[in-house]
Structure 1
Amino acid sequence: MSYEDESAAVIVLPANNSLSLEDVDPNSGNVPDATVTSSDSLDFSALDDETNRFGAYSKVTLSWEDVKVSLSVDTGKGPACCRSNKDTITKKEILKGVSGLCKPGTFMAIMGASGAGKTTLLNTLAMKNDHKLDESGTILVNGKPLTGRTTSLLSAYVQQEDFFIGTLTVKEVLMFHANLRMGRDVEMKEKKRKVNKVLHELGLKKIENSLCGQPGGMIRGISGGEKKRLSVACELLMNPPLLFIDEPTSGLDSFMARNIVKIIGKLAKANRTVLCTIHQPTSEVFAMFDQLYLVAEGKCAFTGDSADALKFFKSVNYPCPDNYNPADHYIFTLAIVPGEEEECRKRVDEVTGVFAKSEELATLKKNIAVVEKEAQNESDVKTNLEGSRSIFSTQMSANFGRSWKNVTRNPGYTKIRLVQALVISLLGGLAYFNTGNGQESVQDKSGLLFFLITSITFSNVFLQGSTIPEDLPIIKREYRNGMYGIMGALIPRFTLEMPYLIVLTLIQWVITWLMAGLRRNVVAFFTCYAACLAVSVVSTAVGYFVGTASGSPVISAALSPLIILPFFLFGGLYQNEASTPYYFYPIKYGSWFKYAFGMVLISEFEDAEIKCDKVPESLCVFKDGNQVLSYYHLDANDVWFPDFVAILLLSAGFLAFSVLFMWLRVREKRKPIKEKTN
């Protein structure tokens, strides 16, 4: 069965073809997978021609020759600094001099057993590999070398994992990508038209108003196959001539896997150059590939037409049995089976050795040389690849709108924060109910106010520290696609936190103020509220810092106490201002606890009356509130400057560190490929 003979539907409509929006689940927006148009109606060549933008690269021939990838591995035992013999760095070869060629209109499958190097090859060709890898060889597009940035704009890379904001609908996700990737010169009407066309062509029109959904079932959404199609749709908006797709069938059943591969095949037939890794396709899926690239132990075992692979394996005495899936046969033949490593590697060396001396590889290298020679004779045609960059105001507005939808459509997020504020404030209010103004009230009020500052800090740091890492994969992908910068991602998100902080902090403070019987003074009330709000802001910034620095919710949960507790210790309650050792001054003067605690104590005790009617005269330590401030070494003139200003400056500092760590996490960390020398 050939690809051209394949005429079955991508997803079959019900017999009456009467499915409508009324069939959509009102809770999740879900519709069955069997609700999109037949594959025979898909015409990807109808997508807009973008020859003007891509110029000479509107059709792409991708070639690579003698590509090698290795990783430096330290085989020594114990810390490197403590070993006498430090010459223990060895090179682990992942790719061992592979070559290949993929032309426009070609759908190439890169196959191999787990650990063979197929994903590394795809990432190398897409210029997406990690900076820890050493790469060498020649990678050319239409016979010419390109930079990583230019390749990113010229191509699309569909990751194995499908990362989306779960509270957005399918159409909203595509509109977000269209606004930030189609350029500032494209009118909104044209962007909407392009989005609607891609929705139709990829069979997503019926579910355009369905939510993407969140893991764990908190928000139900579209299926795995629909998410994979949405991932392809996001990249297809720019109509790129070069597509890299990593494991498009991962996690899908055979029916949905077939549908996805069929759609990708249609993309290739519209004069695109498509390369995808695939682990173990069914025989029906395997028949859809035009070209096959087999990788084994980092070496090329075969590349060429899928039909020719059968002849090649027969020629090396590993024929595929009748009525057997060829894909399974190739993978099993080239796999390294545990316990049989020596025999398996001998077989792999035999197959790859024959191919290295084959006429097929010699012809391949001649074709690569022809492409390079033709490129030298062609004059350069200007491209407009940078036309996809959006201006900063567009980045801000698009991210602000997305963040707003994410917040308002996630009621659980609001409920959790509200319940948290209510429980903590009620706990503090009940524990310190009606403190009064006697001698014992000094300790009670001091403890209550410090507890309030601490609870606000911990709740915000842990919340942001756990949510930021969850969104990092999305931000990383979109940043590398040039959709927005770090500030365009963080500022809208932080801005939308302010209404929460203002309202929730006010609720927490009012309940505490009323139940504990704190000072009934308008100035004191708003001064304490300002201090608590400032703590909310700085702790949110600290949460951003912890989340971006850790990159993982689990690591963030472990790191948060280590960040908070040193500042907590020198916050003014557990150690007197005059007792701090000089070597802890940096932590002390960087502690928002210190400044906020000073503000609330000044507002509560300045010129306040403290009674001694319940204790003997000899135990009457404080005659008035000013003596309390003197005991804590506080100056009433410091309440706004430096205390309040210092907290705001600390907020700005932690946000600046958040931007730095976010950039370090999402930036392209990649070494340049060392080109081979003749």
Structure 2
Amino acid sequence: MGHSGAGKTTLLDIIACNISGGVVEGDVRVNGEPVRANKFQKYSCYVLQRDVLLATATVYEALMTSALLRLPLSMPRQQKQARVQLILDELDLNAAANTMIGDDSKGIKGISGGERRRVSVGIGVVTDPSIIFLDEPTSGLDSETAVQLINCLVMLARKHRTVVCTIHQPNSDITDNFDDLLLLARGRCAYFGPWDHSIDYFKSLGYACPMYKNPSDYYMSITHDPEVSEQLADIFTKASKAASLLGDAEEGKCRASINGTNAAATILAWRHSASLPQAASNAHHLLDDDVVLPTVTECSTSMSRGLDCRPACLPTPLSCYQIWVLSVRFTRSWIRDPILLASMAGQYAFAGIFIGLMYLQIGKERNAGVFDWQASLWLILAVLAFTPCETACTLWDAERLLLRRETTSGAYGVGAFFIAKTLATRPFEVLVTTFFGILTYFMIGYQLNFWKLAIFLVIINLFQLILETLGLLCAIVTKTSTLAIIVASATLLVLLSFNGFLISTTPEYFEWIPKSPTCHLRTLRCTSITPSPVDNGHTVKWNIGILVVILFAMRFPCYAFLKIAHKIRFL
């Protein structure tokens, strides 16, 4: 517990091996043993302050998906379903089991804030972890909902689990459930021990909690003063060291001398030290009593029992199975998102009708010029460039957060996510692109030939997939969708400007751009008497093959950058 900026989340991140950036000194130990991050994270779960959940999934589906992704393939599905049902019972989520989680910004009505927080906890505990870390779980909840959540956490803790959470300023109904308290003041420890003994401890230092005042409110008020918080941290540091020495001496663990000085003399000198802050003089007698300043072992007995009672690390399912589970989730999410479906279908329908009306049946007009044909093709490519590119940038914001949370918790790897996203989203993208292509093809009046229509549809679908990959790449290498759209738009502006339609002669300093492997038009020389098709020595099959090569050549760096972004925690 502590003020904003006291270091609560930073400390929790370090303990949970979830730190990124900065320099961490010292080490983290559990039951006296150094912690290995990859192994420790399999025994623990971390619930973020912000609920990162899939809005289109129901509560049961969210928990079941977590179970399918993280529990071993050898475990029968009925057993996984039974575990999910147990979590629903423990967290009091049965009433909302078949309700979508929801998101107001997407127009999807869903569950309440308290239920969302409990779903986040349920997703984490599906593997039955020994330790549960929560970053301000009551943040943003009303008092009654916060108490209900804490009661659920208490029930989890009583089943041989260690629950460690940060909290800002809880009410008395919440603090009554605490076992131990670590009070942080400006990055330092002002108290660490049983919650029930904290009142006596601060009273002995001259900071007696007034009657009828919530102790947590009082602790926050006294640590708000920089001078007082420094004094409290100094007192606790010296007192805890002395208590540790005294405990070792009484148990016979202390060596005969410490740096050439007798241990008992060291403790006695500390007790009568004039350099100790005056408030600490009232705390001297507390060092003889194990009620105040308990050792870390006493505070961690529940952790020891929890780790001893937990099973060994469960093996995760094969990647191919995770790809299948994620593909089903992606498909279900697309189908259930009305705004996403309407926006994508609406964009292509509007653009197709608009272009079709602009160049309505120019194929039947004898006076239709080559420029009109080129313009119609260029507009089609422009729509297929900007629309999927910007859509990919926008969707990545929500997907990024979900990917970061689930990969950090070890639910699956980046490769499984990337392949599943590719497999699940392609059918719908091909469907809307084909609809757009057929609409424009017949409205404009291109040649009524089945094979030429098929070639046209294949080419625009490949082009659409390439530009969607470009948008995803821009989104991965940037932090926000706004910046990603700016980068993508600038890139598309350059690529589309030098395709031979907007400008006939390229300036010398830009000649290298049209030579890049992008879609561009050839110079057309024709007469009005005889047909003059473009012949550059490349067949249609060769051009389609080049588009396929470009597509795969862009997907590979896209995956590579995603892998790097995950490794350096840039997601």
Residues 158 and 232 of structure 1 are in contact (CA less than 8 Å); yes or no, is this contact kept in structure 2?
yes
Q: 1:124: which partner in 2?
A: 14
- Could you tell me how far apart the structure 1 residues matched to 2:515 and 2:354 are? 28
* Counterpart selection for 1:270 from 159, 170, 194: 159
Would you tell me which structure has more strand in proportion to its own residues?
1
Question: In the aligned structure 1, how far is the partner of 2:460 from the partner of 2:440?
Answer: 12
Match of 2:234 among 341, 353, 371: 353
Partner of 1:494: 422
Supply the distance in 1 between the matched residues of 2:568 and 2:38 (Cα, whole angstroms).
9
Specify the alignment match of 1:420 in structure 2.
347
Contact 1:157/1:243, CA 8 A, preserved across alignment: yes
1:329 matched residue in structure 2: 218
Q: Distance in 1 between matches of 2:421 and 2:223?
A: 49
Amino acid at match of 1:664: I
Q: Is the 8 A contact 2:90 2:152 kept in 1?
A: no
- Residues 310, 319 of structure 1: 8 Å contact kept: yes
Does residue 1:639 correspond to 2:540, yes or no? yes
Contact 1:470–1:552 (Cα < 8 Å) also in 2? no
2:358 to 431, 444, 448: 431
Q: Is the 8 A contact 2:47 2:134 kept in 1?
A: yes
Asked whether 1:363 is paired with 2:252, we answer no
**Aligned equivalents of 1:154, 1:278: Cα separation in 2:** 23
Q: Are the counterparts in 1 of residues 331 and 425 from structure 2 also a CA contact under 8 Å?
A: no
* 1:555 pairs with 2:483: yes
Query: Could you say which residue in structure 2 is the equivalent of 1:665?
Result: 565
Residue 369 (structure 1) shift? 8.6
Residue 121 of structure 1, CA deviation:
0.6
Superposition pairs of residues 140-289 of structure 1, within 5 angstroms = 140-216=29-105, 218-289=107-178
Q: How far does residue 440 in structure 1 lie from its aligned partner after superposition?
A: 5.0
- Describe the SS at the equivalent of 2:163: strand
CA distance in 2, matches of 1:120, 1:584: 52
Shift of 1:476: 0.9
Number of residue pairs matched? Answer: 516
Select which of 97, 105, 115 maps to 2:5. 115
Per-residue CA shift, 1:366-413, capped at 9, x if unaligned?
Answer: 687979xx9xxxxx9999755332101111110011011111112332
1:650 aligns with 2:540: no
Select which of 451, 475, 489 maps to 1:523: 451
Alignment counterpart, residue 545 of structure 1, candidates 473, 476, 479: 473
The Cα shift of 1:432 comes to 1.7
Q: CA deviation at 1:188?
A: 1.0
The aligned residue for residue 474 of structure 1 is 402
Distance apart, 1:472 and its partner CA:
1.0
Q: Deviations over 1:61-101 (max 9, x none)?
A: xxxxxxxxxxxxxxxxxxxxxxxxxxxxxxxxxxxxxxxxx
- 1:442 and 2:370 aligned: yes
Q: Which residue of 1 aligns with 2:314?
A: 387
Across the aligned residues of Structure 1 and Structure 2, the Cα RMSD in angstroms comes to 2.8
- The offset of 1:217, in angstroms, is 5.5
Distance apart, 1:302 and its partner CA: 0.5
Q: Offset of 1:538 from its aligned partner?
A: 0.8
Do 2:330 and 2:425's aligned partners in 1 also have CA atoms closer than 8 Å? no
Q: Equivalent of 1:624, from 528, 531, 543?
A: 531
Q: Residue 476 of structure 1 contacts residue 667 of structure 1 at CA under 8 Å; is this kept in 2?
A: no
Conserved 8 A contact 1:465-1:556: yes
Change (3 A) 1:315 1:360: farther
Structure 2 unaligned regions, length at least 5? 249-293, 302-306
Q: Which residue of 2 is the match for residue 619 of structure 1?
A: none
Shift of 1:315: 2.4
Cα deviation, residue 664, structure 1: 3.0
- Contact 2:498 2:513 (8 Å CA) reproduced: no
- Pairwise CA distance, 1:116: 0.6
Secondary structure of 1:127's partner? coil
CA contact (8 A) 1:476 1:665 kept: no
- 1:532 aligned residue: 460
* Secondary structure of residue in 2 paired with 1:585: coil
Write the letter of the residue equivalent to 1:279.
H
Matched residues in 1 for 2:446 and 2:97: separation? 54
- Relative to structure 1, the CA distance from residue 233 to residue 515 in structure 2 (aligned partners, 3 Å threshold; closer, same or farther) is same
Partner of 1:525, secondary structure, is helix
Matches of 1:455 and 1:363 in 2, distance apart?
71
Question: CA separation of 1:669/1:637 partners in 2, compared to 1, >3 Å: closer, same or farther?
Answer: closer
Q: Could you tell me whether the CA contact under 8 Å between 2:180 and 2:192 is conserved in 1? A: yes
Identify if the C-alpha distance between structure 1 residues 127 and 368 changes in structure 2 by more than 3 Å, giving closer, same or farther: farther
After TM superposition, give the deviation of residue 222 of structure 1 in Å.
0.7
Q: Note the C-alpha offset of 1:478.
A: 0.9
Asked if structure 2 preserves the Cα contact closer than 8 Å seen for 1:296 and 1:348, the reply is: yes
1:661, distance to aligned residue in structure 2 (A): 2.7
Post-superposition CA distance 1:40-60 (Å, at most 9, x none) = xxxxxxxxxxxxxxxxxxxxx
| Superposed displacement of residue 215, structure 1 | 3.6
Structure 2 matches for 1:286-305, cutoff 5 A?
A: 286-305=175-194
Change (3 A) 1:382 1:589: farther
Residue equivalent to 2:413: 485
Structure 2: which amino acid aligns with 1:181?
R
Instruction: Name the TM-score, length of structure 1 as normaliser.
Output: 0.71
